[in-house]
Structure 1
């Protein structure tokens, strides 16, 4: 009787061990990573940050990295992914929201590749979409612009109305100064520099002295023009203080390169989830860059306290 009970207990323990092992995430090797960009890695903003992310993965894991530029259609994506597959690529990053749909169609044919895109909807088990929660960064950018403005009018030159940072910018500006006026224009294309500069003229004509160019393909020439006119900017996506510390009051930074490494870490640990993943200030991948000397220290201290409170509680200052 004793032996039977002992065997039963041992059997149960053995089953529990097996169950525990089966629930454990298996680590993976990360040997090769591919990047697709719709335009170029030399735009100084979005595309450049994606390439920097690849370099950080290479440095962290010793991986081989591959990239292709101007991949902006389903046919071009299919051709690039087929080539990456022959090379043995483990992860393909599609550096833009358009890649989510492309990858959803392709992913079932490449079960050994994990497809990662941005700001889209990932539907397959080996697809993931990374989403920056941009409302808060816009809010703090709007606070800064409104606080600094001498004319009482600021501007936002965005690409699309649906951008969360647009609403956030206006809310933050109104929170800081309820009498502030926000001139808003939409380029409707991430890379149309000519149209962006034409719309900037309209914003300047409305007496705006601080402008937030919320589009990665045109914000560098927009900031250059603001600088030439003695006006100011809130930088977008990357720290753009190198365009003029007296011109760029601060930047709403999306640390794309750090997010790339975070994804690689999760993949290697077997913890990279499919579906849509959201990231904000608390995840360490969104921040405001250091302020220009033009921004007074008292305000800097106040807004940094607001940001720390948001990180801890998820509540913006107007809540």
Structure 2
């Protein structure tokens, strides 16, 4: 595993177009990953890193990652350096990289850029999107079933997250008497603000909380465990934090999408565009259930997930006779 320091490679970009044989020995040469903070900071980046390691093992190639890449200039310098190391598949492990990749993609025609959960694309830029509405719905169903106060809460990073609407729909479908408390951190990494929001919810009788943000989900779960409040994990299976407190987790298998993208690229099948994945693609799942969740409730949720995978319809969308 190589970790590179950011270095400007003078004039390399100017001669890249004349080096058509630079990538001629196969499709996938080496792979690289850009993260805004650190691969150790949050579940999302950890999972991306795991995906990069899986690509390294599967294809027997060199892989590189670069941390602290936050601006267009950072991206330009990082991409220059990665390409100089034979990288022709670059992952940007956040939504932010879409705008950066779109601006520079034409300069690197031999490189394919991949990022997550965005709408920008070009011939060699692909956005991999999780259809997270459904996972939020099933989390909401479980919260609606398990709340004793009829108050469930979601602490979202941003209001546009599809899992937020899904959570609301799931809670109210399963328990029409329940109310849903919404709060937004407006930052994936706003841990202190998220804890303050959690404390407000706790004081308002919320007894099931869904912290839908990368960096702060674990911290909120720990607080909920101390207070005897249920929580639902986010991105990874967070039952290991507090197995009884965490009712389940909405797991996004970022590492599996890394492997899938690498396989498609290696086979010449990865195209620029926006690709969407869901439970049916085995890249979204629910984590382990808490022993606090009754067996009949577990069975009900699992059966509804399977029905969704078969039909593409959530419980509130299926017509019953």
Q: TM-score, normalised by structure 2?
A: 0.90
Cα distance between partner residues in 1 of 2:124 and 2:27? 16
- Residue 28 of structure 1: CA displacement? 4.4
Cα distance between partner residues in 2 of 1:61 and 1:312? 33
- Residue 262 of structure 1: CA displacement? 0.6
The structure where helix makes up a greater share of residues is: 1
Cα distance between partner residues in 1 of 2:168 and 2:120? 30
Question: Which string of whole-angstrom CA distances, capped at 9 and with x for unpartnered residues, describes residues 146-168 of structure 1?
Answer: 11111111110001111100000
Q: Which stretches in structure 2 are left out of the alignment for 5+ residues? A: 1-24
- Does the 8 Å contact 1:32/1:89 carry over to 2? yes
Counterpart in the other structure of 2:170: 172
Question: Which string of whole-angstrom CA distances, capped at 9 and with x for unpartnered residues, describes residues 184-220 of structure 1?
Answer: 1110111011111111111111101110000001111
Q: Which runs of 4+ in 1 moved over 4 A?
A: none
Counterpart in the other structure of 1:35: 33
Cα distance between partner residues in 2 of 1:109 and 1:29? 19
Counterpart in the other structure of 2:263: 265
SS at match of 1:71: coil
Counterparts of 1:148-227 in structure 2, within 5 Å, are: 148-227=146-225
Cα distance between partner residues in 2 of 1:76 and 1:253? 30
Alignment of 1:107 with 2:105, yes or no, is yes
SS at match of 1:146: helix
- Residue 43 of structure 1: CA displacement? 2.2
Cα distance between partner residues in 1 of 2:245 and 2:46? 22
- Residue 44 of structure 1: CA displacement? 4.0
Question: Which string of whole-angstrom CA distances, capped at 9 and with x for unpartnered residues, describes residues 272-319 of structure 1?
Answer: 121100000001100111211110110111111111110011000011
Counterparts of 1:66-105 in structure 2, within 5 Å, are: 66-105=64-103
Counterpart in the other structure of 1:146: 144
Q: TM-score, normalised by structure 1?
A: 0.90
Counterpart in the other structure of 1:233: 231
Among 244, 247, 270, which residue is 1:246 paired with?
244
Q: CA RMSD in A?
A: 1.1
Counterpart in the other structure of 1:290: 288
Cα distance between partner residues in 1 of 2:249 and 2:41? 17
Cα distance between partner residues in 2 of 1:145 and 1:235? 12
- Does the 8 Å contact 1:134/1:164 carry over to 2? yes
Q: Which stretches in structure 1 are left out of the alignment for 5+ residues? A: 1-26
- Residue 30 of structure 1: CA displacement? 1.8
Q: How many residues align?
A: 293
Cα distance between partner residues in 1 of 2:26 and 2:98? 23
SS at match of 2:155: strand
Counterpart in the other structure of 1:127: 125
Question: Which string of whole-angstrom CA distances, capped at 9 and with x for unpartnered residues, describes residues 37-87 of structure 1?
Answer: 011111241110110010111111112110011111111011100101111
Cα distance between partner residues in 2 of 1:100 and 1:197? 30
Counterpart in the other structure of 1:304: 302
Alignment of 1:316 with 2:314, yes or no, is yes
Cα distance between partner residues in 1 of 2:26 and 2:258? 16
Counterpart in the other structure of 1:280: 278
Question: Which string of whole-angstrom CA distances, capped at 9 and with x for unpartnered residues, describes residues 90-149 of structure 1?
Answer: 100000000000000111001111000111123320100010000000000001111111
- Does the 8 Å contact 2:254/2:283 carry over to 1? yes
- Does the 8 Å contact 1:213/1:222 carry over to 2? yes
Cα distance between partner residues in 2 of 1:193 and 1:30? 38
Larger radius of gyration: 1
